[in-house]
Amino acid sequence: SASLARMKLVSLLVASSLALDASALRVAGRAAGAPTPRAAAAMREFSTKVKITAETRAPLRQARIFFVYPSTIAGASIASYVALTRIIAGVGGFRTDTNPLADAGNLFVDVAVVAGAVWALRKDLKGRAELLEEVALELEGEPSARGERDEK
C-alpha cells in the first residue's frame, strides 16, 4: 500500500514536471524574441527615427528584452526541472542523499523567479509599445503643428 502511494505520488510529480517544462518552453520561446504577428506588425509600422528616439529614452530595454529575461527564464526553468526531479527521486525512494523539503523550497524559488521574469518581460514589452506610440505621436505631431502656424 505504501509503495502504491509512492508510485502514485511519483507519477503525479512526473506529470506536473512535464506540464511545467512545456509551459516554461512556451514562455521562453515567446520571451526569446519570437514575436506574435500583431507585435511584428506593430514594430514594422514605426520609422527608424521613432525607434532610435524611443531607445534613447529607455536605453537598456532592448538588452533586457532580448538577453536578461530569456536567460533568466531559461536558467530558472532548468533549475526548477532539476529540483523537481530531485524531489521525485527523494520521495520515490530512488535516492537517499536528497532532502525533499529543501528541494521543494528550491523549486518554489525557481518557479517564482520564472514568474517574476515573465511578469517583468510583459511589463517591458507593454512599456516599449507605449513609448513607441508616444514618440511616434510626438514626431508626427510637430510638423502638422508647424504647418498650422505657417498657415495663420
| Type of residue found at 40 | A
Across residues 91-95, what is the average pLDDT? 88
> Coil, strand, or helix at residue 152?
coil
Could you tell me which residue, 40 or 130, shows the higher pLDDT? 130
Cα 1 to Cα 37: distance, rounded to the nearest angstrom: 53
| Type of residue found at 114 | V
> Coil, strand, or helix at residue 126?
helix
pLDDT tens-place string over residues 64-91? 999 999 999 999 999 999 999 999 999 9
Cα 32 to Cα 110: distance, rounded to the nearest angstrom: 19
Which H/E stretch holds residue 79?
helix 69-92
Contact between residue 81 and residue 111 where contact means Cβ atoms under 8 Å apart: no
Q: Whole-model pTM?
A: 0.62
Amino acid 33: pLDDT: 55
Q: Which residue in the block uniquely carries the three cell numbers 537517499?
A: 96
* pLDDT at residue 150 greater than cutoff 80: no
Contact between residue 15 and residue 106 where contact means Cβ atoms under 8 Å apart: no
> Coil, strand, or helix at residue 59?
coil
Contact between residue 117 and residue 73 where contact means Cβ atoms under 8 Å apart: yes
Instruction: Indicate the Cα dihedral angle 94, 95, 98, 101, nearest 10°.
Output: 20
Contact between residue 76 and residue 108 where contact means Cβ atoms under 8 Å apart: no
